[in-house]
Amino acid sequence: MDRAKRILITEPIMQAVMDKLSARFDVTVGRRGYYNKKENLLNELRDYDAVLCMLSNPLDREVIESAGRLRIIANNAVGYNNIDVDAAREAGIFVANTPDVLTDATADGTFALLLAVARRIPEAERALRRGEFDGWNPTGFLGMELRGKTLGIIGMGRIGTGVARRALAFGMKIAYHNRSRADDALEKELGAAYIDSVPELCRQSDIISLHCPLTAGTKHLINGEILTLMKKTAILINASRGPVVDEAALAAALKSGTIAGAGLDVYEHEPEVHPDLPALENCVLLPHITSATHETREAMGHLAADAIIGILGGKAPESIANLL
Ligand code: GLV
Ligand code: GLV
């Protein structure tokens, strides 16, 4: 128990995790969405020793430099493009994320999205709900068969690898691009072809799935020009970060038939969705849920909370595996 230490959990998370921190520290839980506004972080973060934050909270240099008392930022997400990690390092503030525990849930979720697009599941279900099911139709709602198709993965980290393993079970071929080539053993296990250039990977793939982090180098990696290189039958899946795709260019490509379909879990300006997308039947739009299982959201919260408990309790930073 260390009631002198103040923790901000920026919005309600899994109860067991809030209870764990509340049993040890003076915890404040923010209102959902309130700390998505930078101004609120700027005004209030200086009062806390630790923050357990969401990927929608902008912890940029100015916010970090305003928070003189802060010892650790624990992001309730694996992606941490919302945090200026260099600024935190310079200020002597630790940053933690939630790797590993969400790999399976996110890979499952990505595959659900992929199948939903390939087999037109939401579109067909919407038709039934409108009362349009008139019996088995030999030519109705035809989709893409996965066996023998090439899945192009951009970003072969833990999640990309998890998606590739699932795709193998469906008889797909794997091609990938990554900043660094995967080791031989993994390439062999997946039968994966490394393709040095993103345009070439996009040219060859039937389905392209994005699993890279958002950085200055991956912003708009998928732009209008790259979309025109893809097969007309191609499907694009994005469960990484919205700005990796130029959303306006994608909406135009889906409208004009430059590619056949898309599955998006993330958006360039969340929670906004490009206004042309919801009207298109050839895309499946999810509200950033690919890691959303009971098990994983609880494990993510515990991992973030444990990093806070470790740092504030004086544990050696080297012993906390999820510090960046
Ligand atoms: C979710 O998008 C995450 O980064 O964990
Ligand atoms: C994220 O955890 C990744 O490595 O894909």
97 CA: nearest ligand 1 atom: 5
- Report the predicted TM-score, pTM, of the whole model to 2 decimal places: 0.96
288 CA: nearest ligand 1 atom: 2
CB 181 within 8 A of CB 200: no
pLDDT of residue 1: 66
- Tell me the CA distances in angstroms from 118 to 53, 111, 262, one per residue in order: 35, 10, 9
Runs of H (alpha helix) within the chain: 15-22, 38-44, 61-66, 85-90, 103-118, 121-129, 158-169, 184-190, 198-204, 224-229, 247-256, 294-312
Ligand 2 centroid–CA 39 distance in Å is: 30
The string of pLDDT tens digits covering residues 18-46 is 999 999 999 999 999 999 999 999 999 99
Q: Is 288 a catalytic residue?
A: yes
CB 282 within 8 A of CB 262: yes
Q: Is 132 a catalytic residue?
A: no
Parts of the chain with a pLDDT under 70: 1
Alpha-carbon distance of 236 to 209, in angstroms, equals: 6
- Ligand 1: does its nearest atom lie under 6 Å from the Cβ of 102? yes
- Identify which of 210, 207, 220 has the alpha carbon closest to the alpha carbon of residue 268: 220
Alpha-carbon distance of 16 to 300, in angstroms, equals: 12
Alpha-carbon distance of 163 to 155, in angstroms, equals: 11
Classify residue 156 by its DSSP letter: -
Describe the crossing of helices 121-129 and 103-118 by its angle, rounded to 10 degrees.
Answer: 60
Alpha-carbon distance of 199 to 170, in angstroms, equals: 25
Ligand 2 centroid–CA 157 distance in Å is: 5
Q: Could you write out the DSSP letters of every residue in 170-223?
A: TT-EEEEE-SSPPPHHHHHHHTPEE-S-HHHHHHH-SEEEE-PPP-TTTTTSB-
Alpha-carbon distance of 110 to 130, in angstroms, equals: 27
Q: Residues 95-119, buried b or exposed e (16+ Cβ, 10 A)?
A: bbbbbebbbbbbbbbbbbbbbbbbb
Q: Is 130 a catalytic residue?
A: no
Options 119, 270, 298, 302, the catalytic residue: 270
Options 120, 166, 211, 288, the catalytic residue: 288
- Identify which of 303, 302, 304, 242 has the alpha carbon closest to the alpha carbon of residue 274: 242
Ligand 1 centroid–CA 111 distance in Å is: 16
The string of pLDDT tens digits covering residues 188-229 is 999 999 999 999 999 999 999 999 999 999 999 999 999 999
pLDDT of residue 2: 83
| Ordered strands of the 2-9 beta sheet | 25-29, 2-9, 50-53, 72-75, 94-96
- Domains of the chain (ranges plus CATH)? 6-100+294-312 (3.40.50.720), 103-285 (3.40.50.720)
pLDDT of residue 223: 98
Reading the block at residue 93, the tokens are 């503030």
Q: Is the dihedral of CA 193, 234, 214, 244 positive or negative?
A: positive
